[in-house]
Amino acid sequence: MKKFNIFPYLFVFLATFVVLQLFNKSPDPVLSSGDVGLKTVENEYAIGKDIRVDVQNNQAGAIEVLSECNEMDGRKLLLPPFTVLKYENEGFTEVSNTANLPECTDSVVTTIQPGQKETFSLLNYSYSDFGEIGRYKLQLNLAEVAYSTPEFEIHEPGVFTKLWRGIIYQPILNVLIGILVYMPGHKLGLSVILLTIIIRTILLVPSQKAMKAQLRMQEMQPKIEELKQKYKDDQARLAQETMLLWKTSKVNPLSSCLPILLQLPILIALYSVVNGGLSPDRSALIYDFMPAFSLHEIDPIFLGFDLLTRSMIVLPLIVGGLQFIQMQLMMTKQKKKKAAQKEGSAPKPMQNEMEMANKMMKYIMPVMIAVFTAQLPAAVGLYWGTSTFYGILQQLVVNKEGSKSKSPEDDVQIRVINKKH
């Protein structure tokens, strides 16, 4: 009896749903009403989240939304484009904050054409203006006319958010700030490099074990392919024999993923830190025992790159090139082994397929990493590039040790011979 495959029908359903959502968007009644529509994207936010505001121009002429750059205490600081109102004592009162505003050089004017909508981010004011739970409104003043958003709520972060901030995000932020405090010139680039070296050194032992396991997995791959060919019609037996081979060779196939899994939360946390965590608004997250330090003093320029903005060409090419070198080193031993086995034997189809897959991975992975780097602040790319360079040095050591050691595949053959005798 032919099995019913639900996946094609599920795919068609999801595709139809997405298309309908794209083309059947009804206008927002709040944004469409009045001369200027104004509302927050969400009705409630956790403390520290990015509050985003939609402004729609329903007038016949263009409107301008102004973020003023005012001089305060010898610094030019950027005010938010909206007046923040908080509900207190049976009424909404203005929240006035001048302590942790971002620096600026000029006022920012956003022009919205008739019928157009713009979304504004208040990420740099998340803690200073919205650091307490309660009910809020935002007010936009245009030509002596005030437009207000509907009420929205600020509440305590959930358990997962608190764990993420307390265990990963906040420690990474404070370690980076601690390095910046003592770094000459408060250079962000050198601080990110030093932070990367610290993190990779802490992860040295597990990542070293993972690299060795990956090297052994490459050596065992021909045996795996032989098992696939031998038991291609018996999947249960194939799984059993494969697990036995891993066990005999003392190789854990999941251990090679450990470095990436360990670094992924750190990478996400660093992105969050660079994307908004170095704003003076994030002073609320700095530990009390940290030395007094103004986040305005951070120097984000490194070798001509502004690390808080994207680098679209040079840095992605460097990081992609480093990733290619590391991939090349990871496959070096496998290439040497193939060259030694090449004489007198024709390559098997399975080996050809495996070689093709490795070649594709060697070229596709660096391109993916380069594209990924181009989409993120340059500081994240600098972290990944430094981490990859550290990994290259580590891989050279692993390859050198591996060339002196006995192959697990040979060890398996020796055990089988001994067992027969």
Q: Where are the domains of the chain?
A: 29-155, 163-420
DSSP secondary structure, 188-227, as one string? HHHHHHHHHHHHHHHTHHHHHHHHHHHHHHHHHHHHHHHH
Nearest to 110 by CA among 100, 119, 102: 119
CA-based max dimension of the chain: 98
Listed in sequence order, the residues at least 6 apart from 35 whose beta carbon sits closer than 8 Å to its beta carbon are: 58, 59, 145, 147
Q: Is the pTM of this model over 0.75?
A: no
Distance CA 270, CA 193 (A): 12
Which CATH number is 29-155 given?
2.60.40.1930
- Stated as kind and residue range, the H or E segment containing 398 is helix 378-404
Q: Render each residue's pLDDT in the chain as its tens digit; 421 residues.
A: 445 455 565 666 676 666 665 555 566 777 777 789 999 999 999 999 999 999 999 999 999 999 999 988 788 999 999 999 999 988 999 998 777 888 888 999 999 999 999 999 999 999 989 999 999 999 999 988 899 999 999 999 999 999 999 999 999 999 999 999 999 999 999 999 999 999 889 888 777 777 777 777 777 777 777 887 877 777 888 888 888 887 777 777 666 666 677 778 888 888 888 877 688 888 888 998 988 888 888 999 998 889 988 888 899 999 999 999 988 887 765 555 555 455 545 455 555 555 666 677 778 889 999 998 999 889 989 999 999 999 899 888 888 876 665 554 454 443 444 444 4
d(CA 137, CA 182): 41
Number of CB atoms found within 10 A of residue 283's CB: 15
